[in-house]
Structure 1
Amino acid sequence: MAKPATRILFAWQEMIDGNSRIAGYRIQPRAFSDCDNIDGGALEACLQQENARQFASRRPLLIPLTTSQWSATDFSAVIATNTCFLLTDLARQPEPRQLIDAIHAAGAKVATYHGWSTDEEDGTADWPVDLLLFDFQEAPLAALEQRLRALRRRRPEVQLVADQVHTWPEHRLCQRLGFTFSIGGFAASRDEEAPTGKISESRLVVIDMLNQIRSDAELKDIASTAMRDPAVVVKLLDMANSPLYGLPRKVAGIEEAITLLGRDALYRWLSLAMFHIDADSGRDRTLLVIALCRGALLEGLVGNADRQRADELFLVGLLSVIDCLLGQPMADILNRIRLPEQVAAVLLRNEGPYARYLQLAIMIERCRLDQAVVLAGAMQIAPAALIDCYREALGWASGELGK
């Protein structure tokens, strides 16, 4: 594998499907060098470091690519079943079909952006691409509907992707219009059309247990709370009996299971259980992946040098979308949960020493990479450390997609 000529940070944008789940990602590269241009060799090498081929063996991965990058580089090492090269300058090529055929012959799919023109017939719609991206904000809705109907008649096999989707209602509209996927910054946002939900009994049990751990309650009292919900009991027993602990016999009692797990591990699992318990929708699973990625990134940026700080930053990332999950204002939710003051300060008021960490994670999610690099520098975080932590966090969190 060629050594990368430059460090590249990839922002991974979720592709949300009709079930509100993360179906795949589009990556956005940013180079940290004196020149913003990324040559094909550096891009290919960094894609290998990102394990792009492994990911694309399971789910769609859109990789923006120029024709010059493709022509100058052998990308075979990063091509898998669901690798899709998003050609950003295909419309300017004299022979686009030949280029598309060459990429198909290499085993990858091809995507491009739909180009709006004054003509009813747009050339991009007739190219043999596999995915066609539309800027959802670019054209009036009536014109978009008309173009999509015509395209569906001519190219029923092509997958349509709505780009620049800002809200969950816009995503649902895109599904009604016939789009396969939506891309935008809406996945971690509140769904304003969703009814204000009542927190389920299972989640109330989890919240009560979290509060008991924070207040150093007796283990028998924590166990008594867990027994109010069978789902919590079953999961805790499964954890205690996992091969990780290597016990010679099965643990059958909930108090013994809690003793075995320990307060720190139990508190971390209960925080995750806020997402797992009653997570019966694709949107819940999407929020779980986003929350895990944020938490792991913030934790990784601190490392093991300050374990308490790292644990609290993990909580910040994990709980930063809890209002979206439960459909209630953050203040109402945190009134129920006893949290460290610095964690509550950033979640409620975007204040305190942890606020910049959460801002950094959100900047990367929203592809504001230049701002992320500036903020990381102010926090004395090197670009290389940021790249490595983000890669590891996303790899761990996206593993939830297959569970």
Structure 2
Amino acid sequence: MIITSIRPNGEINVGFLSFLKSKPESAAAAEVEAAASAETVALAEDAAVLITRTEIIDKRQRLAGYRFGASAAEPVLVDALVVAQVPEFAQQRMALVPLSAEAVAAGLHLPLAAPHTVFLLEHTAADAAAILRAAGSQVALHGVSLKDEDAALLSSANLALLSLNELPLTEFQALCKQLHLNYPHLKLLVDGVATWDEQRMLLSWGASYFMGPFLTTTDKVDPDAKIDQSRMTSIELLNLLRTDAELPAMIEVAKRDPGMTYQVLQWANAPANGQTTKVTSLQQAFMVLGRNQLYRGLTVSMFRLGGGANKERDESLLEVALTRARFLETCSKLPQARRDELFLVGLLSLFDVLLGVQMEQLVGKMHLSDDIRDVLLGKEGVYSPYLTMVLLLQRDKVGPALEIAAQLEIDIDSLPQVGQAAFEWAQASMQHTGAD
């Protein structure tokens, strides 16, 4: 399968829609299984390791990388991260990996070394930091202070991890500003950032990276906010698709937006669709793509239509949403129609954040099934435990998530492979984000 990208201007590159095709239940299950390498399967036979990933957002609101972890002994953790291709990921983006001084002394870090791997140590691990620096690896320190005994390590470290909640706010501000002043080369990564207001505050105090749930929270929702016209056109077409409208009505809506017409034709002419002659009309394009594939593609493209000041943030949201949606689609043995709806739940669950409007306002504009509507509005329903489960996993709350998985009769032993496959799928679908 050829993968290209989703273009920055909202156009999805032609290879991407092959990822979005709904597959028969047996085929989808086989794809997930194939996505996990033989090594992953072998590892799971001994002890399944569920890897957690916490988003690391930079100053420009880009998803710069992840903090990787697992509830496992360090040798098992390292093996799992190698199998999950974290060193390959860290060729391009930050992979923050916590290790003990003993693990570094034993050389456990060596298989994970890569240009953008950052090993997280306690501030007392001077010998381990020296080993990593001698090998050319990047070092992050946790638990740092302005005391003299931390000065030498801070002078040579690349990153300092601070927790927003570990000090009173005035003391935390003083710590950030003094670290920034005394060690200008040192990048500050702050964990526990809950809101965009906190992120902006920390940015003004010199922080470079941020972790916490703020990315997927709404920022200053305006109850009178208007959705831009290109997105409204997409929503109107999505509504027609959901209500099985006649083809002429859908074509009429698509024609209002020249960019959408071009985009749909590009999708239809993708090599994955196997067309021997070029598709030149919207009628042909809609017939080639089919309703389900077109609906998924339009939903994803909503993340690309805004541009402007929020472009980088929207890219980060798309990566989180794709991982969430793919996990929801592939984690269960529900009928395919239900799994298709779970995929949409994963994507739509961030639309209020994306568009800066209240979910009630957004849902009121879209034709959705009652089950999808209920879960998006926070009501109890058939899909609410699935969304709760994936939200817990994305916030590193593995125990409660596994309890819900057991209640849903999901194969818990398969979740490490499902999670890894969903992550890889989302990464692959975005790997050429900046392509023309």
**TM norm. shorter chain > 0.5:** yes
* Superposition misfits of 4+ residues, deviation over 6 angstroms: none
2:393 corresponds to 1:364 = yes
Q: Which of 88, 108, 127 is residue 54 of structure 1 equivalent to?
A: 88
| Bigger RCO of structures 1 and 2 (CA < 8 A, at least 6 apart) | 2
Relative to structure 2, which stretch is displaced further, 373-382 or 122-131? 122-131
Counterparts of 1:183 and 1:275, CA distance in 2: 21
Relative to structure 2, which stretch is displaced further, 272-281 or 205-214? 272-281
Residue equivalent to 1:258: 286
2:251 corresponds to 1:202 = no
Letter in 2 for 1:180: S
Letter in 2 for 1:10: I
2:213 corresponds to 1:213 = no
Shift of 1:187: 1.1
Residue equivalent to 1:34: none
Shift of 1:356: 0.6
SS at 1:216 equivalent: coil
- Spell out the pairing of 1:23-38 with structure 2 (5 A cutoff): 23-31=64-72, 38=73
Residue deviations 1:182-220 (CA, integer Å, cap 9, x gap): 011111111137786310111111111111112211112
Shift of 1:161: 0.6
Residue deviations 1:36-55 (CA, integer Å, cap 9, x gap): xx1x3211210012110111
Q: Which of 420, 426, 431 is residue 391 of structure 1 equivalent to?
A: 420
Residue equivalent to 2:317: 287
Asked whether the equivalents of residues 169 and 193 of structure 1 are also in contact (C-alpha less than 8 Å), the reply is no
2:120 corresponds to 1:79 = no
Counterparts of 2:228 and 2:204, CA distance in 1: 30
> Identity rate of aligned residues, in percent?
32
Shift of 1:152: 2.6
Asked whether the equivalents of residues 84 and 109 of structure 1 are also in contact (C-alpha less than 8 Å), the reply is yes
Letter in 1 for 2:93: R
- Spell out the pairing of 1:3-402 with structure 2 (5 A cutoff): 4=43, 6-31=47-72, 38=73, 40-87=74-121, 89-91=122-124, 93=125, 96=126, 98-116=127-145, 119=147, 122-123=150-151, 126-192=154-220, 197-280=225-308, 281-302=311-332, 306-399=335-428, 400=430, 402=432
Shift of 1:254: 1.6
Counterparts of 2:136 and 2:273, CA distance in 1: 44
Residue equivalent to 2:16: none
SS at 2:365 equivalent: coil
Q: TM-score, normalised by structure 2?
A: 0.84
Counterparts of 2:168 and 2:213, CA distance in 1: 21
Relative to structure 2, which stretch is displaced further, 124-133 or 266-275? 124-133
Shift of 1:259: 1.3
Letter in 2 for 1:270: L
Counterparts of 2:229 and 2:152, CA distance in 1: 52
Relative to structure 2, which stretch is displaced further, 152-161 or 350-359? 152-161
Instruction: Describe the shift of the 1:18–1:28 C-alpha distance in structure 2 as closer, same or farther (beyond 3 A).
Output: same
Shift of 1:104: 2.6
Instruction: Describe the shift of the 1:41–1:28 C-alpha distance in structure 2 as closer, same or farther (beyond 3 A).
Output: closer
SS at 1:357 equivalent: helix
Asked whether the equivalents of residues 221 and 357 of structure 2 are also in contact (C-alpha less than 8 Å), the reply is no
Counterparts of 1:314 and 1:279, CA distance in 2: 24
Instruction: Describe the shift of the 1:55–1:150 C-alpha distance in structure 2 as closer, same or farther (beyond 3 A).
Output: same
Q: Gaps spanning 5+ residues in structure 2: where?
A: 1-38
Shift of 1:127: 4.8
Shift of 1:126: 3.0
Counterparts of 1:107 and 1:402, CA distance in 2: 28
Residue deviations 1:96-149 (CA, integer Å, cap 9, x gap): 0x32121133342111114347x5874476352111011122223333333333
Q: TM-score, normalised by structure 1?
A: 0.90
Let me know the Cα RMSD of the aligned residues: 2.2
SS at 2:215 equivalent: coil
Asked whether the equivalents of residues 48 and 77 of structure 1 are also in contact (C-alpha less than 8 Å), the reply is yes
Instruction: Describe the shift of the 1:343–1:124 C-alpha distance in structure 2 as closer, same or farther (beyond 3 A).
Output: farther
Residue deviations 1:327-354 (CA, integer Å, cap 9, x gap): 1111111111111121111111332111
Residue deviations 1:55-93 (CA, integer Å, cap 9, x gap): 111101101111122223433222211001111x342x4
Instruction: Describe the shift of the 1:190–1:125 C-alpha distance in structure 2 as closer, same or farther (beyond 3 A).
Output: farther
Counterparts of 2:57 and 2:297, CA distance in 1: 26
Counterparts of 2:224 and 2:419, CA distance in 1: 33
Counterparts of 1:185 and 1:124, CA distance in 2: 33
Q: Gaps spanning 5+ residues in structure 1: where?
A: 32-37
Letter in 1 for 2:61: S
Relative to structure 2, which stretch is displaced further, 310-319 or 273-282? 273-282
Instruction: Describe the shift of the 1:166–1:325 C-alpha distance in structure 2 as closer, same or farther (beyond 3 A).
Output: same
Instruction: Describe the shift of the 1:7–1:127 C-alpha distance in structure 2 as closer, same or farther (beyond 3 A).
Output: farther
Letter in 1 for 2:323: C
